[in-house]
Structure 1
Amino acid sequence: MIQAVFYMYSDKTYRGFSVSGHAGYENAGKDIICASVSALVINTVNAVDALTENVCACEQDSSGSIKFKFSSDSDEQGQLLIRALDMGLSNIEKEYGKKYLQVHYKEV
């Protein structure tokens, strides 16, 4: 199962996120849930980097787990992009079920 965690301040703004695990929906190379989550996450990280002035840090390990965080307070554009990722992942969770993807929120 894929675990997505959004780290949020008490005012509900995003600080960052982490995504780890594998959906196990289908065999490697054919898993549409893993592919969808990967595309959303990679696009979000690239969009924040290319389209905003936000300073961020991103780490990815050999298993494919990724951790992203804003290095300082983010602007509206950065927040919107992370909110769009949250929406996309939450929609996948609703469509396919928590057996394959679970989205969580943690206050920091």
Structure 2
Amino acid sequence: MIKVKYFYNDDFQLKGFSVKGHAEYAEYGRDIVCAAVTTHAIATINSLDVLQKVEFESVEAEEGNISCIVKDDCIEKAQLLLQHFQLAIQEIKREYPKNIKILKK
């Protein structure tokens, strides 16, 4: 199961996310749930970096673990893309509820 965790600042604005695990929907290389979540996570991080030019406290991308935390002074610029990621994950979870768990921190 993929576990998605969202991180918020004191004003309840999204400041990042982490994605851990594997969906186990299908065999490696054919798992459309893993592919969808991974694609959205990496695309969001890349768009935050290249399009919005935000700075990160941390970014991690390795097998089974993707995360990013935006620096506090860049949170406003990051909201649209982080909210887009959140909506995309909610839709994937709606279609594949047994393969994704959403946590909030």
TM-score, length-scaled by structure 1: 0.88
How far is 1:75 from its partner?
A: 4.5
Partner of 1:48: 48
Conserved in 1, the CA contact under 8 Å of 2:9 and 2:15?
yes
**Which 5+ residue runs of structure 2 have no aligned equivalent?**
none
Partner of 1:105: 104
What residue identity is the alignment partner of 1:52? Q
Partner of 2:71: 71
Q: Give distance in 1, aligned partners of 2:21 and 2:104.
A: 17
Give aligned-pair identity as a percent.
34
**Which 5+ residue runs of structure 1 have no aligned equivalent?**
none
Displaced runs of 4 or more, over 6 A = none
Q: Secondary structure at the match of 1:89?
A: helix
How far is 1:27 from its partner?
A: 0.5
What residue identity is the alignment partner of 2:25? Y
Q: 1:93 to 1:26 in 2, by over 3 A?
A: same
Count, aligned residues: 104
Partner of 1:60: 61
TM-score, length-scaled by structure 2: 0.90
